[in-house]
Chains A and B, each alone.
Chain A
Amino acid sequence: MNYMSNRYLILEDGSVFQGKAFGAPVQEKFGEVVFNTGMTGYQETLSDPSYCDQFVVMTYPLIGNYGINRDDFETITPSISGLIVKQATEYPSNFRKEWSLNDYFKQKNIPGLSDIDTRRLVKTIRERGTMKGVMVDSIENLSEIESNLNDFTYRNDQVKRVSTVKPYVVPGKGERIVLVDFGMKHGILKEFTERHCHVTVVPYNTSSDEILQLKPDGVMLSNGPGNPKDVQEGIDLVKGLMGKVPVFGICLGHQLIALACGADTHKMKFGHRGGNHPVKDLRTKEVWMTSQNHGYAVTPESLGQTSLTITQTALNDGTIEGLEHEQYDMFSVQYHPEASPGPQDSNQLFDLFLSRINGGIIHA
C-alpha cells in the first residue's frame, strides 16, 4: 500500500490537520466538514447521498474493520467529498468483505484522510459549528489554499446532482407508491420492496400533475442533501400533492413539507448525525432510538400559523423530529426510520404509512 503519503485538512478557522492519505489522490477539494457518531455503518454513511459535498469525520476511531461489502450501499456512486478517520483498517475481516476502505475509495475516486486527531477536530466543530474545509496533498502554498477556501461558497444544486435523471419502476404486487428521489437512500426503497409495494422512483423535479397521473396510492418524499430552501421544485410539489394523496416525508422530505405549509427551517450548529438519537413521541410517550443525518431543522416558532402539529421531538435538545398535518393525510419525520445504518426502532412507520393508505389507522 502506498498510502503513507501526507494529506492535510484545512478549516476556515485556520486550523490545519496533518494526517495520512488513503483512497484517491486529491488536488484541492472543498466541502463542509461534519461529524458522525456511528460506531458501525460506515459503508452506509459514506454512500448516503445526503452527505453530498461534505467531508465526514467519524468519531469512532477504527473505521474499515469489516471492510466494504457488495450489499450495504445506499447509492451506486457515493457523493461524499471525503472521509476523515483516526485509523483506516488495512486488513479488514468479515465474511461479506469484498474490498478494503482504501481499495474501494481508489475505485470510486474518493479521497480519505487518516491518522489525525479526530477527537480534537470534532471538538472544534462542536464548539464552532460545521465549517468549510479543504483537503490537499501539499501545503506548500498554504496562503493560496486558504484564500481559495475563503472564496469557496457552498453549492446549492446538490439535489439536482444526486437525484435520478429518469423515472424507473421497481415492480411489486402491493400498493403503488411514488418515491420522489431528492437523494434517496436505497434503504427507503428497500422498505417498500420488502413490503411488496409497486414503486415508481421519480426525479426531484417531477411535477405534482405528472405524479398524480401515475395514480399512486401514496407518495414518499425521500431524504436528500443540502438546504431545503434550495429545492423550490420540492416545495411546489408538496403544495400540489397535499390533500390529494397520502404523503410521507423523511429528512429533506420532512423539511419540504414544513416549508410548503408555511413554516421555516434553519441551519443547526453541528447537526445530528449518528445512530444514537433518542426521539420521544409526544402522543404515545414512546421513545425510539433513531438514526439521524440532518444539518437543518424545522423552526418551532414558525409553526404557529400553519396546520402542522409537532408529533415527535428529540429527547435531548427538543429539535422537531416529527410533524403531522391537521387536515390532510400527510406526516413526516426528520430522522431515518429505514435506519441503514442505525437502530431500527422506528421501522414500523412504513407500516403505518401503508395502513393509512389502506384507510386503516389514522393516528400512530
Chain B
Amino acid sequence: MPKRTDINKILVIGSGPIIIGQAAEFDYAGTQACQALKEEGYQVVLANSNPATIMTDETMADEIYMEPLTPEFLTKIIRKEQPDAILPTLGGQTGLNMAMELDRRGILEEYQVEILGTKLSAIEQAEDRDSFRSLMYELNEPVPESEIVQSIDEALDFANSIGYPVIIRPAYTMGGTGGGICETEQELIEIVRNGLDASPVNQCLIEKSIAGFKEIEYEVMRDGEDHAIVVCNMENIDPVGIHTGDSIVVAPSQTLSDREYQMLRNVSLRIIKALQIEGGCNVQLALDPYSFDYYVIEVNPRVSRSSALASKATGYPIARIAAKIAVGLTLDEMINPVTGSTYSHFEPALDYVVTKIPRWPFDKFHAANRKLGTQMKATGEVMGIGRTFEESLLKSVRSLEICTNDLYLPNVESISMETLMIRLKTADDERLFLIAEAFRRGFTLEDVHQYTEIDLFFCIN
C-alpha cells in the first residue's frame, strides 16, 4: 500500500529527559522516526523537553517545541500547530502515556488528530495486565500464574495461595519501577506498598516466580497488511529474575535449537498479529532450560530499549521502518536501506555475535544498593560485536570504561570465599567479574552454574 496522502503534518512526542530506566535509546528511535517522516515528505512537529539530545536539533524536525511533556502543554501545541496526526509509539513509555492521556481528555477528538501506528486500544490490551492475560488465554499462550491486586491484603492472600517466591510488577511503569521479587511476607508488604504508589492506576501484578528460566526476547515488526517478521532474537545471559535492562544480553540466541527458536518465533508472531501492532514490538518469553515449556512474560507494544539494541545489532532500522509503517507503507514495498537492493520484509541473518553489557552508575552513587532484580538500575549500555562470543564480550568490557580490559577487577581478587559465593548467588553489577574470579579460584562449571543459574554455554566461554 502506498504512503498516505491525506495527512501532512505529524506531531512526534519524544521521550523527555534521560532518567534511570529510560535511557538515550529512545532519542535514537525518535530521531530515526523524524528523519524517516521527513524523508517521505511530511511536516514534522516535535515535542520533547530534553534540550540535550540530537533529536531537538533544528534540522531534525520542521517545528520543535522544547516544552514539558504534560498533557496541558501538548494540548497547547496541538491547538497551535493543528497537526493531522500524532505518532506516539516511538518516544518510549512517556510518549505512549501522553497520547493515552490526550485521548482520554478528548483532545485528539476535538482537534481531529489521528493516532498513527498501533491503535491505542491495542496498546492498552498489551499494557493492561488483565486484558493482556485474557488475550493470552484466548490465544492459548501460557502466562505465569498471576493476579492483579489493588491492596496489600489481596497481595498477601494470593501469594500465600501460590507460594513464594513471587514477583511484583506495578502496572504502567517504566523499567519495572517499584517492582521486585519477594521471598517472604515482610518483603511482599514493603514492595507491594511501593508498587501501588508507583503505578498510576494503583495496580500491581503478583506473579509466580519463574526465576531460573532462560529469558528470550523477540523483536517483531508488523505492517497494516498483516505482514510480520522477526528482526532479531536475543538471549539474556542472566536468567529470568533480573530485569533485561540489567542483564547481559547476546544476539542472536546461543543456546536454542531450531525447534525452540521457531516455537518462540511462532508465538511472537501470533501475538503481534493478535494485537494488530503496526510498527515494532518486543515480546519477552521465558523458556524452561530443561523442556519445551515456556511462558509469555510481557509484550512492549512500541519501540523499546531492546529494539534500539536489536536495531544496532542487526543494522535493521526498526524505528525508521516503524515510522514508515505508521504512514501506511508496507514491509514488502520498502527497500531495505542497509542493502539498498532487497526489501524490508526480511529477517537479518547475522554472521557475528553481539553482546550488550549494562553500565551501572554505582561508581557515582556509592550508597546505592547494588543488588540486581526486577527493577532496572542501569543507566546505559555498551555493545560489542565479534566473530566469537568471547571477542564480543571482551570488546564490551573494554567499552565500559571501568578501568579494566579483562574479566578482572582488583577489588574482586581480595574478597573472601564466602562473600564470593553469596555475591554469585544474589547477582550484582560485578557478577561477570565474580564469575571469572570463581574460575580462577578453581570453581567448576557446574559450581558456577548452580550458584548463578547461568547457562553452561556462557560459563564455559
The finding on whether chains A and B are genuine partners in a shared complex, rather than unrelated, reads yes
Q: Which of B227, B262, B351, B388 contacts A119 (CB 8 A)?
A: B351
A70 to chain B, nearest CB (A): 12
A22 to chain B, nearest CB (A): 16
Instruction: Flag if B257 contacts A40 (CB, 8 Å).
Output: yes
Assess whether B73 is interfacial by the CB under 8 Å rule. no
Assess whether B225 is interfacial by the CB under 8 Å rule. yes
Closest to B233 in A: A39
Q: Mark A77-100, 1 if CB is under 8 A from B, else 0.
A: 000000000110111111110000
A46 to chain B, nearest CB (A): 12
Residues on the A chain within 8 Å of B351, using CB: 37, 59-61, 118-119, 122
B333 to chain A, nearest CB (A): 10
Instruction: Flag if A280 contacts B332 (CB, 8 Å).
Output: yes
In whole angstroms, what is the CA distance A341 to B259 when docked? 8
Closest to A317 in B: B342
In whole angstroms, what is the CA distance A280 to B388 when docked? 35
Instruction: Flag if B254 contacts A65 (CB, 8 Å).
Output: yes
Instruction: Flag if B388 contacts A96 (CB, 8 Å).
Output: no
In whole angstroms, what is the CA distance A287 to B342 when docked? 14
Q: Which of B253, B261, B289, B345 contacts A315 (CB 8 A)?
A: B345
Instruction: Flag if B290 contacts A95 (CB, 8 Å).
Output: yes
Instruction: Flag if B257 contacts A96 (CB, 8 Å).
Output: yes
Assess whether A165 is interfacial by the CB under 8 Å rule. no
Q: Mark B231-266, 1 if CB is under 8 A from A, else 0.
A: 000000000000000000000111111110110011
Assess whether A193 is interfacial by the CB under 8 Å rule. no
A337 to chain B, nearest CB (A): 13
Instruction: Flag if B257 contacts A278 (CB, 8 Å).
Output: no
Residues on the A chain within 8 Å of B289, using CB: 95
In whole angstroms, what is the CA distance A69 to B259 when docked? 11
A313 to chain B, nearest CB (A): 11
Residues on the B chain within 8 Å of A91, using CB: 445, 456-457, 460
In whole angstroms, what is the CA distance A289 to B265 when docked? 11
Residues on the B chain within 8 Å of A94, using CB: 255-257
Residues on the B chain within 8 Å of A122, using CB: 351
Closest to A71 in B: B259
Assess whether A50 is interfacial by the CB under 8 Å rule. no
Q: Mark B319-347, 1 if CB is under 8 A from A, else 0.
A: 00000000000011000000001110111
Residues on the A chain within 8 Å of B419, using CB: none
B392 to chain A, nearest CB (A): 10
In terms of DSSP, what is the predominant structure of the interface of chain A? Answer: loop
Residues on the A chain within 8 Å of B347, using CB: 275-276, 289, 343
Residues on the B chain within 8 Å of A343, using CB: 262, 265, 347
Closest to A42 in B: B258
Tell me whether A65 and B258 are in contact in the complex, defined as CB-CB below 8 angstroms, given that A86-B388, A95-B291, A289-B229 are known contacts.
no
Assess whether A38 is interfacial by the CB under 8 Å rule. yes
Q: Which of B256, B345, B346, B388 contacts A40 (CB 8 A)?
A: B256
Instruction: Flag if A87 contacts B388 (CB, 8 Å).
Output: yes
Instruction: Flag if A342 contacts B257 (CB, 8 Å).
Output: no
Q: Which of B225, B258, B346 contacts A341 (CB 8 A)?
A: B258
Closest to B331 in A: A287
Instruction: Flag if A339 contacts B256 (CB, 8 Å).
Output: no
Assess whether B65 is interfacial by the CB under 8 Å rule. no
Assess whether B352 is interfacial by the CB under 8 Å rule. yes
Residues on the A chain within 8 Å of B226, using CB: 286
Residues 297-334 of A at the B interface (beta carbon under 8 Å) = 315-316
In whole angstroms, what is the CA distance A286 to B346 when docked? 14
A89, A93, A119: most-surrounded residue (chain B CB, <10 A): A93
Tell me whether A316 and B350 are in contact in the complex, defined as CB-CB below 8 angstroms, given that A62-B389, A94-B255 are known contacts.
no
Residues on the B chain within 8 Å of A86, using CB: 387-388
Instruction: Flag if A341 contacts B262 (CB, 8 Å).
Output: yes
Residues on the B chain within 8 Å of A286, using CB: 226-227
Closest to A280 in B: B332
Assess whether B422 is interfacial by the CB under 8 Å rule. no
In whole angstroms, what is the CA distance A343 to B351 when docked? 18
Instruction: Flag if A93 contacts B455 (CB, 8 Å).
Output: yes
In whole angstroms, what is the CA distance A275 to B342 when docked? 16
Assess whether B402 is interfacial by the CB under 8 Å rule. no
Instruction: Flag if A72 contacts B345 (CB, 8 Å).
Output: no
Q: Mark A95-134, 1 if CB is under 8 A from B, else 0.
A: 1100000000000000000000011001000000000000
Q: Which of B230, B261, B346, B455 contacts A316 (CB 8 A)?
A: B346
Closest to A117 in B: B387
In whole angstroms, what is the CA distance A39 to B348 when docked? 10
Residues on the B chain within 8 Å of A89, using CB: 457
B331 to chain A, nearest CB (A): 7
Instruction: Flag if B345 contacts A287 (CB, 8 Å).
Output: yes
Residues on the B chain within 8 Å of A118, using CB: 351
Assess whether A172 is interfacial by the CB under 8 Å rule. no
Instruction: Flag if B332 contacts A287 (CB, 8 Å).
Output: yes
Tell me whether A276 and B348 are in contact in the complex, defined as CB-CB below 8 angstroms, given that A93-B455, A93-B456 are known contacts.
yes
Assess whether A181 is interfacial by the CB under 8 Å rule. no
Residues on the A chain within 8 Å of B460, using CB: 90-91, 93
Residues on the B chain within 8 Å of A60, using CB: 252, 349-351
In whole angstroms, what is the CA distance A192 to B142 when docked? 27
Q: Mark B438-461, 1 if CB is under 8 A from A, else 0.
A: 000000010000000001110010
In whole angstroms, what is the CA distance A38 to B289 when docked? 22
Instruction: Flag if B349 contacts A37 (CB, 8 Å).
Output: yes
Assess whether A340 is interfacial by the CB under 8 Å rule. yes
Instruction: Flag if A59 contacts B258 (CB, 8 Å).
Output: no
Assess whether A43 is interfacial by the CB under 8 Å rule. yes
In whole angstroms, what is the CA distance A93 to B214 when docked? 13
Assess whether B353 is interfacial by the CB under 8 Å rule. yes
In whole angstroms, what is the CA distance A65 to B332 when docked? 33
Assess whether A344 is interfacial by the CB under 8 Å rule. yes
In whole angstroms, what is the CA distance A316 to B289 when docked? 37
Q: Mark B111-141, 1 if CB is under 8 A from A, else 0.
A: 0000000000000000000000000000000
Instruction: Flag if B387 contacts A43 (CB, 8 Å).
Output: no
Closest to A60 in B: B351
A66 to chain B, nearest CB (A): 5
Residues on the A chain within 8 Å of B262, using CB: 40, 339, 341-344
Assess whether A41 is interfacial by the CB under 8 Å rule. yes
Instruction: Flag if A61 contacts B457 (CB, 8 Å).
Output: no
- In addition to A61-B388, A316-B343, 4 A-B residue pairs with Cβ atoms within 8 Å of each other are A59-B351, A87-B388, A96-B257, A315-B345
Chain B residues in the interface with A (C-beta under 8 A) = 225-227, 229-230, 252-259, 261-262, 265-266, 289-291, 331-332, 341-343, 345-353, 387-389, 445, 455-457, 460
User: Which 8 A-B residue pairings sit nearest by Cβ, starting from the closest?
Assistant: A41-B258, A341-B258, A93-B457, A37-B349, A276-B347, A93-B456, A40-B258, A316-B342
13 contacts between A and B (CB under 8 A): A38-B258, A40-B256, A43-B257, A62-B388, A66-B256, A66-B457, A89-B457, A93-B255, A276-B349, A286-B227, A289-B230, A343-B347, A344-B266
